[in-house]
């Protein structure tokens, strides 16, 4: 094991600032969504993905892929969302192993009501203070990271349009 190449001055500053920013950003988003809609950010994202899928429905596996969530995490989330009546789960005839998650009218309503405040928050903590150039830079940097972390590369976006517009 060769001796470690530590982070240099610039890298370390970047790394720590980045970690701090991300930590606060997630807290901020989560707090806002919980307060205004009762949903944690991750659950909101699930509803958002469903809303963009054709028919407002996806299999658990598809949804997990889009959210880059473990099956387990999604299962727990879906259980809660279903209990709250925001989605419902069912099986397709002829396939007893796949589960479909579908946005309920109530789920769509909650999503629609939460969306504006959420987008405002996203703008406030991120886009409002970044230049157009920085937004592009951040996308490229994120794509590089994602390439390293998720080589399979699930689709970054959702094709459909059965949903409710771009909810974040």
CB of 47 to a copy of itself, least distance (A): 15
Does residue 128 touch a copy of itself according to CB under 8 A?
Answer: yes
What are the tokens at 160? Answer: 């459909």
Does residue 127 touch a copy of itself according to CB under 8 A?
Answer: yes
Asked if residue 63 lies in contact with residue 71, where contact means CB atoms within 8 angstroms, the answer is no
CB of 104 to a copy of itself, least distance (A): 23
CA 111 – CA 168 distance, rounded (Å)? 10
> Would you mind telling me the total number of residues written for the chain in this entry?
168
Single out the residue of 25, 80, 122, 168 in contact with DNA (rule: CB under 7 A). 80
CA 133 – CA 111 distance, rounded (Å)? 30
CB of 74 to a copy of itself, least distance (A): 13
Does residue 154 touch DNA according to CB under 7 A?
Answer: no
Q: What are phi and psi of 87, to 5 degrees?
A: -135, 170
Binding mask 104-143 for DNA (x = CB under 7 A): ----------------------------------------
Single out the residue of 113, 116, 161, 162 in contact with a copy of itself (rule: CB under 8 A). 116
Local structure of residue 7 (DSSP, 8 states): -
Nearer to DNA among residue 43 and residue 164 (C-beta): 43
Local structure of residue 156 (DSSP, 8 states): S
What are the tokens at 115? Answer: 């969306």
Does residue 113 touch a copy of itself according to CB under 8 A?
Answer: no
How far from 17 is each of 8, 51, 127, 145, 161, CA to CA, in Å? 14, 34, 17, 17, 38
- Tokens 């504006």 belong to residue: 116
What are the tokens at 57? Answer: 């429905």
Q: Interface with DNA by CB under 7 A: which residues?
A: 27, 30-31, 34, 40, 42-43, 59-61, 64, 69-80, 89, 94-100
Q: Interface with a copy of itself by CB under 8 A: which residues?
A: 1, 3-7, 10-26, 28, 45, 68, 115-116, 119-120, 122-130, 134-150, 156-157, 165-166, 168
């Amino acid at each position: 094991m060769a001796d470690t190449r530590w982070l240099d001055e610039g890298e370390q500053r970047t790394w720590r600032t980045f970690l701090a920013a991300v930590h606060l950003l997630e807290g901020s988003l989560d707090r806002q969504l919980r307060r205004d809609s009762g949903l944690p950010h991750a659950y909101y994202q699930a509803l958002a993905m469903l809303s963009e899928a054709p028919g407002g429905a996806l299999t658990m596996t598809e949804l997990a892929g889009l959210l880059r969530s473990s099956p387990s995490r999604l299962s727990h989330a879906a259980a809660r969302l279903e209990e709250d009546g925001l989605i419902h789960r069912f099986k397709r005839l002829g396939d007893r192993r796949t589960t479909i998650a579908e946005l309920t009218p109530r789920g769509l309503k909650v999503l629609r009501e939460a969306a504006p405040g959420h987008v405002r928050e996203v703008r406030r903590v991120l886009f409002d203070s970044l230049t157009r150039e920085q937004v592009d830079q951040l996308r490229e940097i994120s794509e590089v990271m994602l390439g390293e972390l998720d080589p399979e590369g699930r689709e970054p976006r959702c094709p459909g349009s059965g949903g409710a517009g771009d909810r974040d």
